[in-house]
Structure 1
Amino acid sequence: MLNNTGKLRGKIAIVTGGGSGFGAGIVRKFIAEGAKVLILDINQADAEGVAAEAPSGAASAIKGDVSSELDWQMALKLVLKEFGGLDVVVNNAGVLHTSGPSIDLDEEEYDRVMTINVKQLFWSTKVIIPYFTSNNRPGLFINTSSISGARPRPNLVWYAASKGAVNSIVFFVTLGSLSYGYSASIIASTLGQPEFLKYFKLREGIDDNATALLGATNGLFQTGGLLGALAIGYCSDRFSRRGSILISSAVLVVGGGLQAGSVNISMFLVMRFVTGWGVGLIVGAVPLYQSEVSPPHSRGFLVGLHGVLIGSGYALAGWVGYATYPMKGNIQWRLPLALQVVWPAMLIAGTYFLPESPRWLLQQDRTDEALAVLKRIHHDVKDPSGNFAVREYHAMEEQFAIDKRMGDGTFKELVTKPHNLKRVVIGFLTMFGAQSTGTLVINNYGVTLYSNVGYSGRVAIALTAGWVTVSILGNYITSLFVDRLGRVRFMIIGFTGITCVLIGEVICLALLETRKSFGISAAAIFFLFGHIAFFSSCIDATTYIYASEIFPTYLRAKGLSLSLSGLFLGSLVYTQAAPSALSAIGWKYYLIFIVLSAAFVVVLCLYFPETKNLSLEEIARLFGDPIAVELSRISDKDAEAFDVAIESSQASKQTVQHMEKV
């Protein structure tokens, strides 16, 4: 038995299901370690019995349903009244269903398991987090799961699913973006691994085609990405938003696994193409899904997390490469490449728990499902009756009816109608412009660039990893402020900043050609890091947000697909040319990125409309399309009138349905 150390002295906790079993054990241990505990349990007698065992004033009990918002509010009030604060919430309560085949389980039993095992996480965070944040307390949530979440037991499939949902809530949304960031960036450190260059005979002087083959490792990846980006529009419409995420993940698993197992350069290059194809799919599938399930006021933040996790994938790839550099043999490069399969494999396993996009469901005439999903994902404690979700749904429904009258949602319609062609051009330029900053060239050939300013070997790999790590913070800044400052303004700041730091970088590189200086080398490094700071904080995530929201629902998947082709076309052109260009003209290659970045500032100011805080349906107005309802500008009086209209519409539909049945 563990000794009691008093490490929880002064802490206050709520433990659900603390009247028996594991929960009672947790309560007793917390109290023994000096904590005060409120037991929240549906069985009041059991809870009071455990509380009575504790020293006077150390424990209290309350009867409550963990799936009830009201009971969580009562628990918070009581713990504050009894103990004066709260530090820890232990979501321990859980139930099993009757053991047996899934087909024998009735809906009532399924709902009971899901409600108790999963919904308590939702209400505990909804009720408790505002207390933690408003009182500046570093609160902690401990969610009790089960090995069944990862390793289901026979005849308890839905209990396993409910426990797996706990894990999915914590891990799932990060995986698609992380997969893209890691797969796109891991080649940067791989090209600096001596064992990789030795195995494939890619050192200058050993293979006359070394430079061309190194360029091909990036060129084929970007070519695959371009084809994947063009395919994601069809996949997302044909197989659903969730289905496209599954397909993307499967391609990434195959490409990453066989890339790590490559036995010759031909196999490696083919698998780089396959992995690029998967990346092109996933980089479109994730922000498309995110934009369609996010409420208007926080869409920038939620889609912006795509950029945060891409940056995290970049950083992880860099540091994995740094960690494996001292290793001997082929594991030095095979291990980092093999890790590409981990996150898409987890994504495949977790997609089951995601709701489908309500806008895609509406496209398929699955209206009841669309409304149910929208109510669930846009629920707000300030709007318990779900009025906003209902208004949003009917605005979507009416807008979709307008959109259907305007066209049939084909690629041809995107390029033949002026208002849609404007969207395509803006979306394409947004993604192509981001690559015209030279960021991917710096990322993928970072080891070479750092060698040019006097840093080589493991130091160069460490600098590459540090460079991409900056992008995590930068993208997070975007997600926090892009809904306030605006998409276009953010990009203007970013492209202006990048133009300035690239000018500084070019000056340093030009000076280093004639004289070696530690100060000039340090300045060159400073400007490279300044480049990623501006790119990640103002451009990276912002471009995905902007391109994913400017198209109407019936064209969004295909429009985003064409927009993302700009990303991969730019990446293909610039990275394929980079090895030869850097070898032939050196720093002069950066002049292209300076000119294009400066030009893009002008284009942004003149032609790009601002989309912040508008619903996806309202953005149509910016391109001259008719819209059904402007929810962002609706007054309380108009909202009431809209609610009456909705009720009348629903009543009419019910009457028609009744008459049809008669």
Structure 2
Amino acid sequence: MGKGYNTALASNPYVVGSFACIGGSLFGMDISSMSGVLNNPSYAATFSSPSSTAQGGIVAAMPGGSTLGAIIASDLADRLGRRWTIITSACVWIVGCVVQCASVDVAMLVTGRVISGIAVGIASMIVPIYQSEVAPPTIRGRIVTLQLWAVTWGITIQYFVEFACSYIDGPASFRIPWGLQIIPAIILAAGMLLFPESPRWLADHDRFDEALAILADLHGRGDAQTPLVQLEYAEICAQVDAGHKEPKRGWLDLLAPGMARRVMLGCSVQMWSQLSGINVMMYYIVYVFEGAGLTGRRGNLTADSIQYVLNTALTFCATLYIDRWGRRPMLLLGTLLMGFWLMLVGGLQGRYGHWGTIEGVNGQIWVMTGHEYATRAVIACSYLFVCSFAATVGPVCWTYPAEIFPIRVRAKAVALAIATDWACNFALAFAVPPSLANIAYKTYFIFGTINFVAFIHIFFCFPETAKRSLEEIEEIFAQGHAYTAWRISKDVGFKNAEQTPVVETEKVSPEYVLEKELSFTHAYQPQTNSVSYVESMSLGDNA
């Protein structure tokens, strides 16, 4: 324990990466904390039956705060470190939950959701970075995907808590679930004290001894002389050395030659994930099923809960193959499937729906009545849409931005990407209720078309990054191919195309380590803290 963290816990990257995912569960809880009360009479009575515009504002308050939180997190991550930034997000979340739980009017509720949103923005930005910096290359996608899995668990757990509390009469039916959201934040803040700081952040702050010790615990079972640890340490230090020779880091660095392209990719993948229409199916699934003709509060809540369970199950499945299949295939398949299901939903509602009223809903809505099979088809397509997102685009949109940036700008670049996510989330959360109330089924056609546009963009511009170390990914972008991403060979980034990527310490050959080390023009000697410049050479030259 003299190291400031628990060595036994640090020896397993799955444990380190998965515990930080509790930060993702906060985001999930916030999503269903709203969707579970939209047709709660006590909620409507307490907050004066918000109109569609007012309800959009209440829901949008959280992603609005998250946009600000993601930007704030960039400086916190560079100054405080990854671990303490995660702890900070948990503390801010607790404050926001307290304000929400005590809310007596819309203004107070919006304030609480903004505060909670700041916490979610910080956590959603820093957790993937932390995970990507502590995970070995071949399971990095799996580890970062656990973040989204935690989001789905937060959605599901919170929804079932609200489902159970819906049988309580009065404001306690929504105040109890909102108050219980504090528990995971307390666990996260206390538990992160037992876990190590990111070795890449430590190296970037000239704390090389600590970085090497943590790498040894994470990837070498405590042995700093393990080939994988020596190799990874040399790569990190070489990149840090190159970064320190650059001018002082700022936001303008994101516009530097070669960097703007990556920023565009990181922001785009987050933008496409939000514009896919997933928020329609998560925040406002109650409205979707009401429009499909599913009436009765209990029946609607039951149908909603099935969707959240499917979301959780399919996200877990994605963790098993994201590193095997790669990022590109999942993004391409997902956008096609989601566009198809949304077009079906829009077509069915357009064909069989009409403007009308249903019990418990104020005003007219576009609703399907008297068409049982069409109603079932819309519900099935909604389930399949969410399953498609959870198994493909959802996991990748969190993994991709965390791995494509060099360490010197990673915090700021990922912050901008996550802020893009939350800005789109904010706009959609605010716009969807009026959209469903005014153009009804045409809303689904809009999101379906967006998915097809995303497919084209991803096909031309998004290179594969799976199974490469964060340092090896640099070579991918050095190749160019800005608009012909499909042409980038799978072996780009590996010094020897015949070598398989590093998987476990005992599988790393001495020859591979030697070849990697000799490839650095400026390399660190892993046994010391000082820089020694070694002559650039290759195995071919020595032959």
- TM-score when scaled to structure 1? 0.70
Give the letter for the 1:404 counterpart.
H
Shift of 1:551: 0.5
Alignment partner of 2:32 out of 177, 185, 210 = 185
In structure 1, distance between residues paired with 2:241 and 2:166: 57
**Structure 1 residue 421 and structure 2 residue 255: aligned?**
no
CA–CA distance in structure 2, aligned partners of residues 644 and 253 of structure 1: 50
Counterparts of 2:348 and 2:526, CA distance in 1: 68
**Which whole-Å CA distance do the structure 1 matches of 2:422 and 2:18 have between them?**
28
CA distance in 2, matches of 1:122, 1:525: 44
Deviation (angstroms), 1:281: 0.9
2:282 match? 443
Structure 2 CA distance for aligned equivalents of residues 632 and 587 of structure 1: 53
The answer to whether the aligner puts 1:474 opposite 2:314 as a matched pair is yes
| Structure 2 CA distance for aligned equivalents of residues 655 and 273 of structure 1 | 46
Corresponding residue of 2:487: none
Change (3 A) 1:429 1:171: closer
Paired residue for 2:511? 637
Alignment of 1:550 with 2:404, yes or no, is: yes
Hey, what does 1:523 align to over in structure 2? 377
Query: Residue 273 and residue 583 in structure 1: after superposition, are their counterparts in 2 closer, same or farther (change >3 A)?
Result: same
Does the 8 Å CA contact 1:432/1:567 hold for their aligned counterparts?
A: yes
Q: Is the CA contact (8 Å cut-off) linking 2:23 and 2:120 kept in structure 1? A: no
**Residues 472-531 of structure 1, C-alpha deviation per residue, up to 9 Å, x if partnerless?**
121112211011110111011100000111111111111231563100000000000010
Task: Answer whether contact 2:240 2:408 (CA < 8 A) is retained.
Answer: yes
In 2, the alpha carbon distance for the partners of 1:424 and 1:648 equals 29
Distance across 2 between alignment mates of 1:523 and 1:493: 22
**CA-CA distance at 1:405 after TM superposition:** 3.0
The alpha-carbon distance between structure 1 residues 611 and 234, as it changes in their structure 2 partners (threshold 3 A), is: same
Q: Which residue of 2 aligns with 1:404?
A: 244
Counterpart among 79, 84, 91 of residue 238 in structure 1:
79
Paired residue for 1:37? none
> Is contact 2:47-2:105 (8 Å) kept?
yes
CA offsets, 1:625-651, max 9 Å, x none?
89xx95785674352466799999467
Q: Which amino acid aligns with 2:370?
A: K
Letter in 2 for 1:395: E
Match of 2:432 among 558, 578, 594: 578
Deviation at 1:390, TM superposition (A): 1.3
Residues 454 and 494 of structure 1: CA distance in aligned 2, closer, same or farther (over 3 Å)? same
1:552-575 Cα deviation digits (max 9, x unpaired)? 011111110111122111111112
Instruction: Give the % identical residues.
Output: 25
Residue number in structure 2 paired with 1:459: 299
Residue identity in the other structure for 2:236? M
Displacement after TM superposition at 1:184 (Å): 2.8
Q: State the superposition RMSD in angstroms.
A: 2.8
- Residue 25 of structure 1 corresponds to none
Matched, 1:535 2:395: no
Q: CA deviation at 1:303?
A: 0.8
Match of 1:227 in 2: 68
SS at match of 2:470: coil
* Residue 334, structure 1, aligned to residue 208, structure 2: no
Relative distance call for 1:650 and 1:379 in structure 2 (3 A) is closer
5+ long unaligned stretches in structure 1: 1-106, 127-167, 204-209, 657-662
Q: Deviations over 1:426-474 (max 9, x none)?
A: 1111001001111112211111111111223121122222212211121
Structure 1 residue 492 corresponds to structure 2 residue 332 = yes
Inter-CA distance 201–395: structure 2 relative to 1 (3 Å threshold)? same
TM-score (norm 2): 0.84
Instruction: Report 1:269-284 matches (<5 A).
Output: 269-284=110-125
Structure 2 CA distance for partners of 1:650 and 1:436, relative to 1, 3 Å: closer
Q: How far apart in 1 are the matches of 2:247 and 2:352?
A: 58
Shift of the 348–314 alpha-carbon distance from structure 1 to 2, 3 Å rule, reads same
Q: Residue 199 in 1 paired to residue 46 in 2?
A: yes
* Match among 251, 256, 262 for residue 103 of structure 2: 262
Q: Do 2:328 and 2:464's aligned partners in 1 also have CA atoms closer than 8 Å? A: yes
2:18/2:143 contact within 8 Å kept: no
| Structure 1 runs, 4 residues or longer, greater than 6 Å off | 168-171, 643-648, 651-656
How many angstroms does 1:239 deviate by? 1.1
Q: Which amino acid aligns with 2:320?
A: L
The residue aligned with 1:392 is 232
Equivalent in the alignment of 1:19: none
Which residues of structure 2 form unaligned runs of 5+? Answer: 355-368, 481-492, 500-508, 533-543
Deviation for aligned residue 1:192: 2.1
How far off its partner does 1:418 sit?
Answer: 2.9
Give the alignment partner of residue 312 of structure 1, picking from 153, 170, 174. Answer: 153
Number of equivalences: 491
Q: How does 1:208-227 map to 2 (within 5 A)?
A: 210-227=51-68
Mapped to 1, the partners of 2:272 and 2:161 lie a distance apart of: 29
Partner residue in 2 for 1:91: none
Distance 2:16 2:248 in 1: 36
Question: Is contact 2:62–2:114 with CA below 8 Å preserved after alignment?
Answer: yes
Q: Report the CA distance shift for 1:581/1:365 in structure 2 as closer, same or farther (over 3 A).
A: same
Match of 2:23 in 1: 176
Corresponding position of 1:344: 185
Deviations along 1:368-418, whole A, 9 cap, x unmatched? 00010011011269x995221111011110122123334533111102x13
- The CA deviation string for residues 302-354 of structure 1, in whole angstroms up to 9 with x for no partner, is 11111111111111122112111111011101011112211111111111111
What residue is the counterpart of 2:344 in the other structure?
504
**Rg comparison, structure with higher value:** 1
What CA distance in whole angstroms lies between the structure 1 residues aligned with 2:277 and 2:433? 13
Using a 3 Å threshold, how does the CA distance of structure 1 residues 645 and 588 change in structure 2: closer, same or farther? Answer: closer
SS in 2 for 1:586: coil
Task: Report whether the alignment pairs 1:616 with 2:456.
Answer: no
CA–CA distance in structure 2, aligned partners of residues 420 and 339 of structure 1: 42
8 Å contact from structure 2 (residues 495, 515) kept in 1? no
The one-letter code sitting in structure 1 at the alignment partner of 2:179 is: A
